Amino acid sequence: MSILLISLGFVFCILGVLGSFLPVLPGPPVSWLGLLLFYLAPAIPMDYVILSVTFVIALAVFVLDYIVPVIGTKSYGGSQYGIIGTTVGLVVGIVAPIPFGFLIGPFVGAFVGEFFFNKSQSKTAFRAAYGSFLGFLGSTLMKFVFSLAFTAYYVYKLIDYRDLIF
C-alpha cells in the first residue's frame, strides 16, 4: 500500500509541475495532493505542520493565480476581454503546433480580445496585451516555482525515508 501511495504521490507532483503551464490543472494544489498521498502512506510518519503550511501556500498561490493576471491587465489599461483573450490564446497556443505557442498565444489572444471585442485602438490594445502577458508570465512563474518546490521537497523526503519504504 505504501509503494502505491508514494508512486501516486510522485505522479501528482509531476502533474502539478505540468499544471503550472496547462490551464486545465491547478499546479500547486495538485502537487500538494502528491505530498498528502506521500504522508498518507503507512510507512511514512505523518507531519501535520508541513501539510498545513504547504496547504496554505498552495491555496494562496491558487487564489493569486486568478488575481495576478487581472492586476497585470488592469495596470496596463486592459479589460475583461484581454483576460479572456489571454486564456483562449494560451489554450490555442498549447494545442497549435507552433514553437513557443504557449508564450505567443496569450499575448496574441489578449491583443485580439482588446482590439476586436473592446474596440480599442491598436496602441491601447497592444499595451493591454503586454500587461496581460506580463500578468500571465508572473502567475505561471509563481505556480511553477511552488509546484517545483513541493516536488523537490517530496523527493528530499523520499530519499530521507528510503529505509522505511524499501
Amino acid (one-letter) located at 144: F
Which DSSP symbol is given to 114? I
Specify the 3-state DSSP secondary structure of 55: helix
Q: Is 1 helix (H, G, I), strand (E, B) or coil?
A: coil
- Whether residue 136 contacts residue 72, with contact meaning beta carbons closer than 8 Å, is answered with yes
* Alpha-carbon gap, residue 54 to 138, rounded angstroms: 20
Tens-level pLDDT at each residue, the chain (166 residues): 889 999 999 999 999 999 998 777 889 999 999 999 999 999 999 999 999 999 999 999 999 988 887 788 778 877 888 878 878 887 888 787 777 777 788 888 888 888 887 776 888 888 888 887 888 888 889 999 999 999 999 999 999 998 887 7
Question: What letter does residue 118 receive in the DSSP assignment?
Answer: S
pTM equals 0.81
User: CB of 56 within 8 A of CB of 102?
Assistant: no
Amino acid found at 75: S
